[in-house]
Amino acid sequence: MSAPMRSSLLLLAVGGSAIALTLAWQHWTRPAIIDAERQLQASQLLAVLPAQSYDNRPLDSALPLPAEQPQHSKVLAAYRASHGTSPTAIVLVSQVQGYAGPIKLTIAIAADGRLIGTRVVEQQESPGLGGQIADPQSGWLNQFAKHGLGDRWAIRRDQGDFDQLAGATVTSRAVIDAQQEALRFFDQHRSQLLGASTHE
């Protein structure tokens, strides 16, 4: 066998081994990667809930959603948080159209119908303007906690109870609408979301 042919066969063998090792490594690490992605998604969705407020695994079973949807936003998923046998909160994953694109939110609502908190999961708003909704340091979303359907869900310039993000009126209105509609959705389907055995 000539030297060039031996070199070619050696290169093929090394290349084949490298490909086989890469495929084996991907196969071996895939479950760990999927699990890490699932844990990251869970931490993002449940970050809106105080850790001590539930002891179940809410994301293990999504609740069936009623066919009717809110007018301006869309409820993508619903999860029940509970402590022992008592439901403590419902987490709604909601999507609303912002200024630059869809905004996906997690909205936690206490069993008494009050908003616990809201977090942004995905958004495409302008950095420094509407994009501030996803910045925890801006604190803009904190103003909605503990409010219910009886409040005036609008920015102050629209005779509402809430401040808007500076320079981001469209984004502010969209997020406020999504939260109000989530509260209304919860109120309309309270017994179904909290469980049939729950009494108002």
Spatial strand order of the sheet with 115-122 comes to 73-83, 86-97, 102-110, 115-122
pLDDT of residue 20: 78
Residues 87-113 have a mean pLDDT of 95
pLDDT in tens, 118-172: 999 999 888 877 788 888 788 899 999 999 999 999 999 999 999 999 889 999 9
**Predicted TM-score of the model (pTM):** 0.77
What whole-number distance in Å separates Cα of residue 15 and Cα of residue 123? 42
pLDDT in tens, 40-68: 456 667 889 988 889 999 998 899 998 88
Cα four-point dihedral sign 129, 130, 134, 136:
positive
Residues 101-111 have a mean pLDDT of 96
With a cut of 80, say whether residue 189 has pLDDT above it. yes
pLDDT in tens, 170-183: 999 999 999 999 99
With a cut of 80, say whether residue 11 has pLDDT above it. no
pLDDT of residue 36: 47
Contact indicator for 187, 114 with CB cutoff of 8 Å: no
pLDDT of residue 198: 44
Q: At 200, is the pLDDT very low, low, confident or very high (cuts 50, 70, 90)? A: very low
Question: What are the strands, taking DSSP E only, across the chain?
Answer: 73-83, 86-97, 102-110, 115-122
Contacts of 100 (CB under 8 A, 6+ apart): 124, 125, 126, 130
Q: At 197, is the pLDDT very low, low, confident or very high (cuts 50, 70, 90)? A: low
Between residues 73 and 36, the one the model is more confident about = 73
Count CB-CB contacts under 10 A for residue 177: 19
Q: At 199, is the pLDDT very low, low, confident or very high (cuts 50, 70, 90)? A: very low
What whole-number distance in Å separates Cα of residue 170 and Cα of residue 53? 33
With a cut of 70, say whether residue 29 has pLDDT above it. no
Q: Which of 188, 136, 178, 135 is nearest to 153 (CA)?
A: 178
